[in-house]
Chains A and B, each alone.
Chain A
Amino acid sequence: MSTPVDVPAAAAALRDSTAEARAGGTDVMARLSEGLAAAPFTDLHRVRELRGVEWRADGSARIGAMTTVAEIAADARLRSAYPALTATAGALATPQIRSVATVGGNLLQRNRCPYFRSAAFDCLQKGGDSCPARTGDHLHGTAVDLGAACVAPHPSSLAAALLAYGAEVQVEGTEPRPVGELYDGSDSGRDHVLEAGALVTGVALPVPAAGESAAYRRATSRSRAEWPLVEAVVRVVRTGGAVTEAAVAAGAVARTPLRLPDVEQALLGASGPEAAAAAVAPVPDLCSPLPQTGYKAVLLRDTVRDALERALEPLEA
């Protein structure tokens, strides 16, 4: 086990060994007990420079990879600049997970498919040659086909929020890349495209937009503490009461988080919540559900609609 204290040492430790990076540990430790991860690990908790929010001269923020989800949710300046991000951070998992889980770990966590998580099954994510969920139980599977045989939706809610901001992910030793390029929807073997040994150091957000309002919604059975059936992150920027910029991202429906450009286009010029229903009308046609996930097409549309109606509430004077 290695416990580097700075980024170069952490990057070197990851590069020179097969030890998986461990941040908050919430996903790694779960996989460890499921037999899907193995010690040793490269522990990142000593790398202080990876933690915290840095504000740049242009008013944009860079969030260190080891910043916890709870810290993001509670950060007043982030909430004012990037309300969709903080709303998402505050709504995922539970308080005692958010207090240790990190943004870097959230982006790189593995999927929640019970076939993947169970030692009783082989699957494409574990080197197998077929997806047992596709022929078996996939009630919580994908509803938008991006070309993968694997049907496990991507689990990262923060990825959907960061996608809605067009944020960039910083990986040590490489150029920053858009968060969407962290994932490949046609890949059945992995949940992100980074090579083993890569070190995510942070995410960089664009300059905040004035007049932004946002909402995050997830559809679940229980009121709290449940992985979403579908989730929606929406941002609208209004000028003179009319929408001049819109970003809509969806999670839990595909192998990657998705932007919904058709909905975004339809929102331009809208001025109130009543515009939401029409804007989301094309969503079911964007879906290509599996036998058991047909409900997600309608549920996604209406979850996006719910989020939009909240975001499009009239601004207070």
Chain B
Amino acid sequence: MGTTVNGTPAQIGADPATTAAEFVRDGLGLTGTKTACNAGVCGSCTLLLDGAPAASCLLPATALEGRSVTTVEGIGNGAEHPVQRAFAAHDAMQCGYCTPGFVVEAAAFVDRHRAEHGDTAPARDEIADALAGHLCRCGAYPGIYAAVASACAGEHDGAAESAPPRTEAAEKASGRARYTTDVRPEGCWEAVIVRSTRAHAHVLGVDAGGAHHVDLLGADRTVRYVGQPLVAVAAPTAAKARAAAEQVSVDYRDLPAAADPAAARLPGAAVVHSTRAERGAAPSHSEGFVPPARWKDNVRGPFNMGWRSATAVKRIREAARRGDDRLVTGVFQTAVQAHTPLEPHACVARWDDAGDLHIHVSTQAVAALAEEAAERWELPRGRVHITAEHVGGAFGAKAGLRVETVAAVELARACGAPVRLVFDRAAELTDGGHRPASRTEIALLADADGHLSAMTMDAYSDGGVSVGGMVTTLARLMYGRGPRRLRDFDVVSHRPPGAPFRGPNGPQLLWALEQAVDDMAHRIGEDPIALRRRWDGNTKRHALYDWAAALPVWRERTAGAPPGRFRRGVGVAAANWMYLVDSATTIELVVEDGTVVAETAVQDIGTGARSVVSGVVADELGVPAGLVRVRAGHSDLPYAPASTGSRTTASLGPAARDAAAKLQEEARGRGAGTAGSGRLDAAALAALEGLRVRGRRRRDRRGYVTPFALPDGGTIGRGFTGAVHVVEVEVDTLLGAVRPTRCWAGISAGRIYAERPARNQCEGGVVQGIGYALYEQRRDDPLTGAVLTANMEDYRIPGIGDTPEITVHFHEEGWEHVTGGGVGLGEVSTIGVAAAVGNAVFDATGWRPRELPLRPDRILEGIGAK
């Protein structure tokens, strides 16, 4: 069977099970086409079939017969398509994994639109309709809107006049950017993980037949959730590996299970972790240290971080007794949120002849992983080589040595060949990590003067077999010093473990706290922003409150729920987060081929780490961006932090500046540069060829909160980042849909190193927060705990049409004590969004939502539709 791909004839194989995506990726090596959901939902695999976009993951390769196929590599007929330039210019991407699919669809749309309407920008809704079949987990939709509109208007027909805001933008928009899932060394074997089909069982035996395999089960030979890895098998092809996996037989002795979190708390429920050792080994969904707490059956806790707890409890009890209307109480619940990065967990491992270990892995912690791998396989650190050139999203789920790496490395040794292991989407949505569900009981009491008199919070985190709930702990850090009892519990059940997720515990806390504060403002008849400004001692956030209060949307909002089917409402929420830094960060600059190359191990998971480094170096040296290159994503390069805890930019930026200063000093010393000034032009760089300098992350003035680095390399710095989100929604009271229309995101994280990527990340934070508020919910079978939303059709993340118009405001003052003046914003920019949506829904309808997500059925029930 013949077809034509990007103008070149190609032959299709006869296997009826092969998809068009497999044909172009594996058969032709055109890896710009990505497969992420494998269900026709996310659009990453989009290609053009006789000019019309088609989802190639569900398209039989045989259907390409006689057709003309265009992949991202063929868009623009070998030249750059205006859409690709527009995506780069408007920073319409973060991790870039979905970008080729968007580009292919957008190119077809732009060409059609211009042919029909000339060079005019289409309406937002038209763009949303055209791109409805694409999902971007990073939430880079505002940039995508702008890119498509301006490409339609003919603004990107010529080469760009300036470098794009994101260093690697052209690679991502063209499909050239290589991710772990695109790596396939010569002779590479494929691996598949066989997972438990039982919620709780002793595994008496696993028979992998003759297949190469590695055991993944712990020493206690017990499985505790459906989907738990048992064994991984490898074979020379993917089909053979799948066949080998199907041949694996497992001998289970079933044990009673507590697969439902409510049932897990009942007397007599099966106990998930029964011994001290098991409890100690329970996985954690929090970042860093999990404080010790006592256990009672399946409940762990409380861990109390309050102060004057007894006073707080006494005041609230008395207020309840006297019916004080300044006592606000409520129970707020959140759902399990899956990270579901579009690039799944993936690893390609290889042992070379000298015994060195080479690992390509989709990770957010290249340098740390090299340390862990060296320890695990007892190798000198220098003999472990981790590569993560591009990472297709992570959000917290890809830190540390995880099962895909363990299995691929072990199998590579067993098979004597490179081994590749890629999670399928069901595994990703089951065992790839999630933000635990939560139930928070909150009480706030204001005194006669309207000051916070007492606060109590009990939060129960539901992270399956994992622990680490520190929801209320974060409430210690907001709203002054009033007495408060803050108790955290974990309820464990026979369901998959959570993982740290962008601002761990933050959204759960703020969903409860920021709605309760809103409720209080209404009780005492005060503007919700004004009340927060009074209660909140953070001066940087004061500036954000002033900014928010002055917004026309806030000043002109009308009180009381308006009549009619579509009701508009505006809500606000504040957020607070820690500032972390990795003080061991180093960056080297080397003058190479007349350019400055910055070397750092850092992975770029879509946050723009490369852009931060290249921007700082170019600025400091006064050279054009084109003369600075960044070599990153490899553990042989100088140490860089994990992209966790919003620490990357605050660590890299100053190290890059320090290195640039040293380069300049060296240049000056050698009399290079314009009149020996150290300002580097091409001639000066030629004279410095081969020069190498090393920059460090210099210590902050006034030092840090923690005197030593935590085990993950992080140090808690002084000061808190802040956010204030104002969200406008429109509630369709007939059909129960909530549409976020506009959002203003005020962020206090000091100096912004790379404006457009930073703004992009804040916009994405809004999009993820909207997903959390309105759509995202892992659903499990109550009997077995098996994940039912194991595909991206049933697990619903926001699309481009769900994206409000977003305005990001940076308040840059207040971080002068920090070297470089700027800190991280990845987490603080998302954690308060859902609460702002909740407050907006209350404003629109007069009904206070308490349980996430705000599905149509809940809206209709809440507003009393009959």
Contact = CB atoms under 8 A, between A and B. Distances in A.
Interface string A107-140: 0000010110110110000000000100111010
Contacts of B846: none
Nearest to B738: A221
Nearest to B52: A99
B129 interface: yes
Contacts of A221: 737, 774-775, 796, 853, 855-856
Given A25-B59, A298-B865, A95 B775 contact: no
Contact of A224 (B46, B132, B734): B132
Nearest to A217: B735
Interface string A299-317: 1001101100000000000
Contacts of A22: 16, 60
26 contacts: A28-B60, A39-B15, A41-B16, A95-B53, A96-B55, A96-B105, A97-B58, A100-B55, A114-B788, A114-B790, A120-B781, A121-B786, A132-B783, A135-B783, A137-B779, A137-B781, A221-B775, A221-B855, A222-B798, A222-B799, A222-B801, A224-B799, A298-B860, A299-B857, A303-B735, A306-B735
A93 B63 CA distance: 20
Interface string A48-87: 0000000000000000000000100000000000000000
A288 interface: no
Interface stretch (B37-45, B402-410, B463-471): B37-45
B59 A100 contact: yes
Contacts of A298: 860, 865-866
A227 interface: yes
Given A26-B55, A120-B784, A223 B802 contact: yes
B254 interface: no
A100 B736 contact: no
Interface in B595-622: none
B781 A121 contact: yes
B128 interface: yes
Contacts of A12: none
A33 B799 contact: no
B845 to A, nearest CB: 16
Contacts of B298: none
Interface string A89-109: 000011111011000000000
B518 to A, nearest CB: 23
A51 to B, nearest CB: 13
B40 A96 contact: yes
Contacts of B782: 136-137
Nearest to A219: B735
Nearest to A44: B63
A30 interface: yes
B39 A30 contact: yes
A118 B791 CA distance: 10
Nearest to B781: A136
Given A25-B60, A220-B737, A302 B791 contact: no
A96 B54 contact: yes
Interface string B47-81: 00100111101111011010000000000000000
B587 to A, nearest CB: 42
Q: Size range of the interface on A?
A: 35 or more
B342 to A, nearest CB: 15
A45 B775 CA distance: 37
Nearest to B794: A114
A43 B60 contact: yes
B26 interface: no
Nearest to B791: A117
Interface string A202-229: 0000000000000000011111111101
B63 A25 contact: yes
Interface string A155-194: 0000000000000000000000000000000000000000
A151 B633 CA distance: 49
Interface of B: 14-17, 19, 38-41, 43, 46, 49, 52-55, 57-60, 62-63, 65, 105, 128-130, 132-133, 197, 226, 734-737, 739, 774-775, 779-784, 786, 788-791, 793-794, 796, 798-799, 801-802, 853, 855-857, 860-861, 865-866
Nearest to A222: B802
A74 to B, nearest CB: 10
Contacts of B781: 115, 120-121, 132, 136-137
A227 B789 CA distance: 13
A94 B856 contact: no
A126 B89 CA distance: 51
Contacts of A306: 734-735
A95 B105 contact: yes
A278 B216 CA distance: 62
B40 A97 contact: yes
A120 B856 contact: no
A224 B62 contact: no
A97 B42 CA distance: 11
A302 B775 CA distance: 21
Contacts of A121: 781, 786
Given A137-B781, A298-B866, A299-B856, 18 more contacts: A24-B59, A25-B58, A26-B59, A28-B60, A29-B57, A43-B16, A43-B63, A95-B132, A96-B55, A96-B105, A97-B55, A100-B55, A120-B786, A137-B788, A223-B737, A229-B856, A298-B865, A302-B734
Contacts of B786: 118, 120-121
Contacts of A40: 16
Contacts of B780: 137
A1 interface: yes
A118 B40 contact: no
Nearest to A33: B38
Contacts of B789: 114
Nearest to B425: A33
Contact of B857 (A1, A28, A120, A295): A295
A292 to B, nearest CB: 9
User: Which residue, B54, B774, B853, has most C-beta atoms of chain A within 10 A?
Assistant: B54
A302 B865 contact: yes
A25 B734 CA distance: 36
Nearest 5 pairs between A and B by C-beta?
A94-B133, A295-B857, A223-B801, A224-B132, A114-B788
B31 to A, nearest CB: 19
